[in-house]
């Protein structure tokens, strides 16, 4: 299908594709990286700015700088004054003169120099070239074609162009961050002697990039005072490529609006997921570090250099299995008890009519509001009286009681959503009320019951505050309290803390995922729709 009106917009879009790519190339060939290398240092003690000694040293330094300038280097002289009062009460001053050479390099000059980012750059350039070629090939002779009726070859070519542009765009931050890492952080760590791995290779590359390889063995000294920075213009690569990308999308789909919306949607989702997962990454990675690495004050490694699996077996000897068992007892017992009391109550609420039903419902909802925390003092007093202080049983009872409301709430909703006819039929057949409940209603309401069950279990498993107050004997602690033994006042064993946390977290997260859908609808629909 042809439409001659499309020629104009399509030509314009193609022009924008080319323009964006051209702009990117121009940006890449501009000297956007600047390096200040310290080539000469002169410390002059007991010198004050403007005095005789200052002038003579200054002249000396300028001579050195002129010597460098004669070699064709752009040199600047800097001075740093350090004043302090000595033990005799006299003010002394130390002036440090430096001659720094300022060098600018374009991103393109990294090509073929063997940096990690060089390969990224090469890939980026390749993608841009591919995009340009594919777009041109996909447009030749087809400028007046309606986008959603393109022939397969042209559609594929235009798809390819848009995809390459998208990838190139995504490589921009990778490229910039990799260079930042190498130039600022890695070199800083090498010259400070904190990191050895890969030092020689990076030094040779820097020598080639900055000094055409003439520094040789002296490169370490030359890099000692190196500061690297990049111009903010470098980030303009992203809008430049975005222009190309949007134009390419228009050439493929006619309109960019829905594609842009979709891209924004994915971007948002990815950001949310990354932020959510970040603490879990930290937990997992730290759980397998050595103690020294958890306290690494130079921030060297994002991942453990060596995965210490023995952290897991170490926590076994630190009482963690016992804590897990206690948690299992507390949560399991609380769940069973909450269900044993909750199911009959929910059944009565859903199926029977009686005086005070509404009041009981209100009572249940009210009690769901009271977190045990605000009643801590009363609860510990009560437990003292009942001699249930410092016992797993006491914890179990409290958790069951405070989860009763949610359990009844969820269960009642499920029961109401199931028609009573089946039970009535069962009762006419001679089943008692109990029989109707256990043989008919409970199997039918199984999904809702499982949801309530798991929810109570997880709540009790994760409970911390009441347990810290009630439990004083170490062997009675549930896991949430147990892990705090790894973070004592003067020493925190992060690796054990997080290894135990990991073990305590994985099962409940998996359980929770299985009921999430049921749970939210149960909670918010007021339990009526179920």
Partner 1 sequence: MNSPLNRSRWTPYLWLMPSIILIAVFVIFPILIVFKLSFSEISKAGVIGGYVGFQNYKDAVNLPAFKTVMLNTFWWVVSVVGVSTVLGFVIAMVFNQKFRGRKIARAILVFPWATSLVIQASVWNYIIKYEYGSLNSVLLNLGIIKQAINWRSSYQIEFIWECGVGIFVTVPFVAFCVLSGLQSIDDSYYEAATVDGAGFWDKLFRITLPMVRPSLTVSTVLNIIYVFNSFPIVYTMTKGAPANKTDTMITYLYMLSFYERKKGPATALSVIGFLILCACAGLYMITVMRKEEAEQ
Contact window for partner 1 (CB under 8 A) among 19-27, 95-103, 194-202, 359-367: 359-367
Residues 482, 468 contacting (CB under 8 angstroms): no
Q: How far is the CB of 512 from partner 1 (least distance, A)?
A: 3
Residues 467, 326 contacting (CB under 8 angstroms): no
> What is the x/- site pattern for partner 1, positions 317-356, by CB under 8 A?
--------------------x--xxx-xx-xxx-xxxx--
Tell me: does residue 146 bind partner 1 (CB under 8 A). Answer: no
56 versus 381: smaller Cβ distance to partner 1: 381
- Contacts (CB under 8 A) with partner 1, residues 427-486: 427-428, 433, 458, 461-462, 464-465, 469, 480, 483-484
419 in the Ramachandran plot: left (φ > 0), alpha (ψ -120 to 50) or beta?
Answer: beta
The single residue among 44, 179, 250, 311 that binds partner 1, judged by CB under 8 A, is 179
135 versus 493: smaller Cβ distance to partner 1: 493
Nearest to 312 by CA among 347, 284, 275, 349: 284
Tell me: does residue 376 bind partner 1 (CB under 8 A). Answer: yes
Residues 439, 449 contacting (CB under 8 angstroms): no
Contact window for partner 1 (CB under 8 A) among 1-9, 40-48, 89-97, 361-369: 361-369
Contact window for partner 1 (CB under 8 A) among 121-129, 146-154, 266-274, 443-451: 266-274
Copy the structure tokens of residue 422: 């089946």
Strand pairing class (75-85; 33-44): unpaired
49 versus 295: smaller Cβ distance to partner 1: 295
Tell me: does residue 511 bind partner 1 (CB under 8 A). Answer: yes
203 versus 347: smaller Cβ distance to partner 1: 347
27 versus 515: smaller Cβ distance to partner 1: 515
Q: How far is the CB of 54 from partner 1 (least distance, A)?
A: 31
SS (H, E, C) 84-120: EECCCCCEEEEEEEEEEEEEEECHHHHCCCCCHHHHH
Q: How far is the CB of 82 from partner 1 (least distance, A)?
A: 20
- Contacts (CB under 8 A) with partner 1, residues 277-306: 277-280, 282-283, 286, 294-297, 299, 301-302
Residue 185 carries which DSSP code?
I
Q: Buried b / exposed e across 288-312, counting CB within 10 Å, b at 16+?
A: bbbeebbeeeeeeeeebeeebeebb
Alpha-carbon distance 295 to 289, whole Å? 10
Residues 479, 353 contacting (CB under 8 angstroms): no
Size of residue set near partner 1 by CB under 8 A: 108
């Amino acid at each position: 299908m042809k439409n001659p009106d499309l020629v104009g917009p399509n030509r314009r879009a193609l022009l924008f594709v080319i323009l964006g790519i051209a702009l990117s190339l121009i940006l890449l060939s501009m000297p956007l990286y600047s390096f200040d290398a310290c080539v000469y240092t002169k410390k002059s003690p007991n010198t004050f700015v403007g005095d005789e000694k200052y002038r003579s040293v200054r002249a000396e330094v300028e001579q050195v700088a002129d010597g460098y300038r004669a070699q064709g280097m752009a040199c600047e002289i800097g001075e740093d004054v350090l004043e302090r009062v000595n033990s005799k009460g006299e003010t002394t001053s130390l002036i440090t003169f430096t001659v720094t050479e300022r060098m600018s390099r374009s991103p393109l000059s990294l090509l073929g120099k063997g940096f990690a980012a060089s390969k990224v750059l090469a890939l980026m350039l390749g993608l841009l070239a591919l995009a340009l070629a594919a777009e041109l090939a996909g447009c030749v002779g087809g400028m007046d074609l309606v986008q959603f009726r393109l022939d397969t070859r042209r559609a594929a070519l235009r798809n390819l162009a848009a995809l390459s542009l998208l990838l190139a765009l995504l490589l921009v931050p990778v490229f910039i961050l990799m260079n930042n890492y190498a130039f600022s952080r890695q070199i800083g760590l090498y010259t400070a002697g904190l990191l050895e791995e890969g030092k020689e290779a990076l030094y040779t590359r820097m020598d080639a990039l900055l000094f055409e390889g003439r520094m040789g063995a002296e490169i370490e000294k030359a890099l000692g005072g190196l500061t690297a920075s990049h111009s903010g213009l470098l980030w303009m690569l992203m809008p430049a490529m975005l222009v190309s990308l949007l134009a390419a999308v228009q050439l493929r789909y006619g309109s960019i609006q829905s594609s842009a919306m979709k891209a924004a949607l994915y971007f948002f989702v990815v950001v949310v997921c990354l932020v959510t997962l970040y603490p879990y990454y930290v937990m997992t990675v730290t759980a397998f570090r050595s103690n020294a690495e958890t306290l690494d004050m130079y921030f060297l490694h994002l991942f453990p250099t060596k995965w210490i699996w023995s952290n897991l077996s170490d926590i076994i000897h630190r009482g963690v299995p016992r804590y897990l068992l206690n948690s299992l007892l507390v949560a399991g017992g609380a769940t069973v008890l909450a269900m044993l009391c909750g199911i009959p109550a929910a059944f009565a609420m859903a199926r029977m009519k009686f005086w005070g039903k509404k009041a009981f419902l209100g009572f249940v909802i009210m009690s769901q509001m009271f977190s045990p925390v605000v009643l801590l003092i009363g609860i510990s007093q009560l437990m003292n009286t009942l001699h249930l202080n410092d016992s797993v049983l006491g914890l179990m009872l409290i958790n069951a009681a405070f989860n009763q409301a949610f359990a009844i709430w969820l269960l009642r909703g499920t029961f109401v959503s199931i028609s009573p006819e089946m039970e009535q039929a069962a009762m006419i057949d001679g089943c008692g009320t109990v029989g109707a409940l256990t043989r008919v209603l409970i199997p039918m309401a199984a999904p809702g019951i499982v949801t309530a069950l798991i929810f109570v279990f997880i709540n009790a498993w994760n409970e911390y505050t009441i347990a810290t107050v009630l439990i004083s004997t170490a062997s009675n602690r549930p896991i949430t309290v147990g892990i705090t033994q790894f973070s004592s006042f003067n020493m925190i064993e992060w690796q054990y803390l997080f290894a135990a946390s990991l073990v305590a977290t994985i099962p409940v997260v998996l359980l929770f995922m299985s009921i999430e859908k049921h749970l939210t609808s149960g909670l918010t629909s007021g339990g009526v729709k179920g």
